[in-house]
C-alpha cells in the first residue's frame, strides 16, 4: 500500500488537501500530527505539498501498530477508550468507548479532550445538549453519559452519522437520549426544510470546529442557546482566538473564559 506522509493536520493544511486529491489520492486520514494520503501509484506533487514522504506500508502492520499505540484518554469524569482497552479504565471513571475509524473524535486530539473535560465540569442532568460537528459522536455521547436528557449531534459530513450512531450504541446510550443528524446550524436539509431540531432551543451547545466557522456561526449559537446556557467552543488555534472573542462579544455572550493546550484553545461563555 502506497502512502504519502504529509506533516500537519487537516486543519493546519486545509488549503493543501485539494492538492492531494488533485494529485490522485484515493483517501486521506489524519493521525498523530500527520496526514496520510493513500495513492495507487506515485504521482507528481505540487511544491506546496512536497515536504512529505512516500512510504510503502503493509496494511496489516500499520493497523496493528495503530491499535498498539492507542492509549485511554482521561478527560474529567470520563475516560475515552477504544473497546479493546476498556479494562484499563480506572475505578471511578466513566468509560466513553469510541471505535477509532473514519470520523474525527477518538479523544486523542487536544480539542476533543478539552471539550469532554468542559462538559464534564457541568451538571448536565436533564438538559438538552447540541453538538455541532459531531464526527464520531464523542461529545454528544459524553453529554448523554454525563446525564443529559437529550444529546443531539449534527455534522455536514454524512459519513459520520452512522459512525456516531454506532458509537452511541456501543456505549449503551439509552434510546431517545441521543440522536445524530446530517446538517448544521443555519442550513436547510436536502429536502429544503430546516432540521426540526433547529426550532427548539438547547441548554448547552458544544462545537469543535474552527475559528472562522465559529465566527460565522456565532449568531446561530446565540439564537439556539437558551438565555444563560453554556457555550463550549474549540478547534481554535491560539492565533485565531481574537476572531472568536470578537464574534462572542458581537453576539452578546458573557463570562468568556479561555483554556489552552499547546497550540489549541477552548473557549467557554454564557448566552
Ligand atoms: N466533535 C468531534 C470531536 O470533538 O472530536 C469531531 C470534531 S471534528 C474537528 C469537526 C467535525 O465538524 C467534522 O466531522 C466535520 O465534518 C464537521 N463540520 C465541519 N464543518 C461543519 C459545519 N459547518 N457544520 C457542522 N459540522 C461541520
pLDDT at 191: 46
- Residues 6 or more apart in contact with residue 28 via CB below 8 angstroms: 10, 17, 20, 21, 35, 36, 37, 38
What CATH number does the domain containing 238 carry? 3.40.50.150
pLDDT mean for each 10 residues of the chain (271 residues): 92 92 88 88 94 85 72 96 92 94 82 98 97 97 97 94 95 92 75 62 97 97 96 97 98 98 97 94
Distance 61 CA to ligand 1 centre (A): 29
- ipTM here: 0.99
Cell of 209: 470546529
What's the pLDDT at 63? 67
Residues 134 and 189 in one domain: yes
Specify whether 23 is located in the same domain as 146.
Answer: no
Q: What is the pLDDT of residue 197?
A: 72
- Domain that residue 32 falls in: 2-67
Q: How many CB atoms lie within 10 A of CB 30?
A: 17
Position 192 scores a pLDDT of: 45
Q: How far apart are the first and last CA of the chain?
A: 49
Q: Whose CA is nearest to atom 24 of ligand 1?
A: 184
Please give the pLDDT value at position 33.
Answer: 82
Residues 101-119: tens digit of each pLDDT: 777 888 889 999 999 999 9
Q: What is the value of pTM for the model shown?
A: 0.79
- In what order do the strands lie in the sheet containing 78-81? 73-75, 78-81, 94-97
Would you state the torsion angle of the CA atoms of residues 163, 164, 165, 170, taken in this order, to the nearest 10 degrees? 90
Q: Which residues, judged by CB distance below 6 Å to any ligand atom, belong to the binding site of ligand 1?
A: 103-105, 112, 115, 132-135, 138-139, 154-157, 160, 184, 208-209, 213, 235
**pLDDT at 171 (0 to 100):** 97
Residue 29 sits in the same domain as residue 152: no
Cα 187 to averaged position of ligand 1 atoms, centre (Å): 14
Q: Which atom of ligand 1 is found nearest the CA of 157? A: 16
Strands 94-97, 78-81: pairing is: parallel
If one counts the domains in the chain, the total is: 2
Q: Is 123 annotated as a binding residue?
A: no
Q: How far is the CA of 124 from the centre of ligand 1 (A)?
A: 22
| Single residue among 67, 91, 121 that ends a domain in this structure | 67
What CATH number is given to the structural domain containing 30?
A: 3.30.70.1170
* Same domain, yes or no: 54 and 181: no
| Domain finish residue from 42, 67, 92 | 67
Amino acid at each position: 500500500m502506497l502512502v504519502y506522509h504529509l506533516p500537519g493536520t487537516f486543519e493546519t493544511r486545509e488549503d493543501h488537501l485539494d492538492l492531494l486529491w488533485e494529485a490522485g489520492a484515493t483517501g486521506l486520514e489524519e493521525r498523530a500530527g500527520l496526514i496520510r494520503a493513500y495513492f495507487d501509484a506515485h504521482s507528481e506533487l505540487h511544491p506546496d505539498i512536497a515536504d512529505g514522504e512516500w512510504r510503502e506500508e503493509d496494511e496489516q502492520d500499520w493497523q496493528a501498530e495503530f491499535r498498539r499505540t492507542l492509549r485511554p484518554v482521561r478527560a474529567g469524569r470520563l475516560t475515552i477508550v477504544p473497546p479493546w482497552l476498556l479494562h484499563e479504565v480506572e475505578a471511578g471513571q466513566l468509560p466513553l468507548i469510541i471505535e477509532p475509524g473514519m470520523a474525527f473524535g477518538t479523544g486523542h486530539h487536544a480539542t476533543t479532550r478539552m471539550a469532554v473535560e468542559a462538559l464534564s465540569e457541568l451538571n448536565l442532568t436533564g438538559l438538552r445538549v447540541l453538538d455541532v460537528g459531531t464526527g464520531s459522536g464523542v461529545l454528544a455521547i459524553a453529554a448523554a453519559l454525563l446525564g443529559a436528557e437529550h444529546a443531539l449531534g449534527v455534522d455536514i459530513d454524512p459519513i459520520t452519522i452512522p459512525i456516531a450512531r454506532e458509537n452511541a450504541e456501543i456505549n449503551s446510550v439509552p434510546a431517545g437520549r441521543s440522536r445524530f443528524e446530517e446538517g448544521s446550524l443555519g442550513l436547510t436539509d436536502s429536502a429544503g426544510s430546516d432540521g426540526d431540531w433547529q426550532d427548539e432551543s438547547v441548554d448547552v451547545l458544544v462545537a469543535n470546529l474552527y475559528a472562522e466557522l465559529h465566527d460565522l456561526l456565532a449568531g446561530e449559537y446565540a439564537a439556539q442557546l437558551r438565555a444563560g446556557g453554556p457555550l463550549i467552543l474549540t478547534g481554535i488555534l491560539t492565533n485565531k482566538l481574537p476572531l472568536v472573542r470578537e464574534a462572542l462579544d458581537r453576539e452578546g455572550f458573557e463570562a468568556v473564559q479561555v483554556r489552552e493546550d499547546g497550540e489549541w484553545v477552548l473557549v467557554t461563555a454564557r448566552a
